[in-house]
Amino acid sequence: MIERITELAPYINFIDSFQDDDRYSDPMLATEEERDCNLFAAVTRPGRIVMGVFDGCLLTGLFTLLVIPDEKYMEMLAGLSRVKSAYDELLRYLEKNYSGYDADFVFNPQNDLLKDELEARGARFETEQQKMVFTHRLQQTDTGGVELLSQRYMDQYLAMHGTDMYWTGDKVAEATERFRTLIAVDGETVVGYIDVTHCFDENEPYDLFVKEECRRKGWGRKLLAGALALNEPKDMMLLVEVDNEPAIQLYESMGFIKVKRQNSITVRWKIG
């Protein structure tokens, strides 16, 4: 049985039991801020629903969903269960009530139960990502040519921004309460950008891009250094594909370290 939950206090022990579980912990709940934003505050925040799967009176699965009906988009903000049938029941509920939606799931790569259920439904799996956190030890880096995005360069920024993601360039530019964007300018040409959050205790770059013909010239390092400096004294984290060794080496050289047991995988599913 699956039903909406409006009070999480009775399930604190259930939630806490996943904290140190290598296989079923949720990387989206790794910090206190993430637990509050993606789980506890979701009970009352518009556009978010918290669903519980029960076996009789026993809670077997707890899930938080972000739902945007106007865009037919959904995202699992948190998912906790050790029971295969709980994941199956959640996905069947989504198939019944949200057919045609684009859904993103970000979860623990060791969680084979959810992976199997999504794979059986033809979902698209992205590469596992390693979480890294900034140590606040940044080597001196030249940031010449890097500046905050302005209307002067908006058209160039939007033209180069990726479109195969929820946070497209136009959405990022409008969401000033969440994001700020730094651009790399060579002469009068925008050659790269970094979209980075600024509203959290631990912020993160959402998208870092440099034009192919301008790579290996230090623009990526400049953009990230500018974002790190602008973010101080807050913390910064990022996600990098586990097999992208050059990027990992770059981030380590700039003061990032790998975090154990907080890797994630993103899966995209067209429901139904």
Residue 104 has pLDDT above 90, yes or no: yes
Tell me the pLDDT tens digit for each residue of 229-272. 999 999 999 999 999 998 899 899 999 999 988 899 999 999 98
Q: Is residue 72 part of a domain?
A: yes
**Where in the sequence is the domain holding 23, given as residue range(s)?**
2-127+264-270
**CB-CB contact of 185 with 204 (8 Å):** no
Tell me the pLDDT tens digit for each residue of 174-206. 999 999 999 999 999 999 999 999 999 999 999
Domain CATH code at residue 62: 3.40.630.30
Q: Is residue 239 part of a domain?
A: no
Overall domain count for the chain = 2
Q: Which residues contact 159 (CB under 8 A, 6 or more apart)?
A: none
- The number of helices, as runs of H, and strands, as runs of E, in the chain is 8, 15
11 and 119 both lie in a single domain: yes
Pick from 236, 219, 216: nearest CA to 227: 236
Sequence letter at residue 108: N
**CB-CB contact of 249 with 258 (8 Å):** no
